[in-house]
Amino acid sequence: MTAGASKRVLLAKPRGYCAGVDRAVETVERALAHFGAPVYVRKQIVHNLHVVRALEERGAVFVEELAEVPPESVVVLSAHGVAPVVHEQAAERDLRVIDATCPLVTKVHNEARRFAEQDYDIVLIGHDGHEEVVGTTGEAPERIKLVDGPQDVAKLELRDPDRVVWLSQTTLSVDETMHTVRALQERFPNLQSPPSDDICYATQNRQAAVKVIAPRVELFLVVGSPNSSNSVRMVEVALAAGADRAYLVENATHVNPEWLHGVTTVGLSSGASVPEVLVQETVQWLAEQGYADVEEVTHTEERLTFALPQELRRELKLTARP
């Protein structure tokens, strides 16, 4: 750090909530207001502990599986999507289902079903065990092969190398995904691509904003939870784009003051499931450490919004009638 250099924060925009997360959180809030507590939620509605705890305080009950939900209860399905078998289980228990799956995840599900019906083998690029991958795979388990990176491509065994298409988890690193796609194209020259990019607009925009800032900072902080795929990818992007160091932090209390030694400029962003309050708490903490100069660096403006799930809109409309 140059003597007398001003300490500052470069704050990425866009950051934080995407349209799918905003929709999912509002869905639980509106369901609680309409039905009253408890409203059950299968899995974390979004991958952020602060959000989950806030909703728990209002009466949401988070469960791992529908077997934990009393029959005829209201249950919200998380933004990450579910396999068809989950809907079957809900029907068996007479549950009132509100499906908060992000529409961009639903798009990938629809693609998986359509290509499976056309007898394609589907290579799904994603992380084994991630809820979104589990849900998408459940649409056509006999047709879908999972790869987690270029290193998995050589092990793929397909029925017909000329009838194969790739799809991807929506929250991956754009660059890493394309590395995998190129490896797939080398092995399967007739590989088909999805009709449009599967990686969601918000993931791409947040990664692009990180890339703009990373070469200008010694330290990059991404606010997000460890189980948030898009948040973890942002840390990787920051390092690849030139930040000396980058860390994922749940909130301001997780920032290690020792990371600031010798640092003039800190980059700061947050994953797509992170409420802005956690970012502002981190900004305030950094100001207390001498980084009071904050410059917001805008890569693009986001205006996309999604309507609430149809099950909830129908319920609210019915009760609003005179």
Catalytic sites, residue numbers: 132
**In the numeric block, which tokens belong to residue 229?**
């795929």
SS3 248: strand
Q: d(Cα 32, Cα 39) in Å, to the nearest integer?
A: 6
DSSP string, 59-107: TEEEESSGGGSPTT-EEEEPTT---HHHHHHHHHTT-EEEE---HHHHH
CA 73 to each of CA 1, 63, 69, 244: distance values in angstroms, whole numbers, following the listed order: 58, 13, 7, 50
CA nearest to 105, candidates 230, 207, 225, 8: 230
Q: d(Cα 300, Cα 163) in Å, to the nearest integer?
A: 37
CA 168 to each of CA 69, 112, 150, 154: distance values in angstroms, whole numbers, following the listed order: 31, 10, 13, 18
CA nearest to 248, candidates 271, 278, 211, 222: 222
Q: How far is CA 103 from the centre of its chain?
A: 12
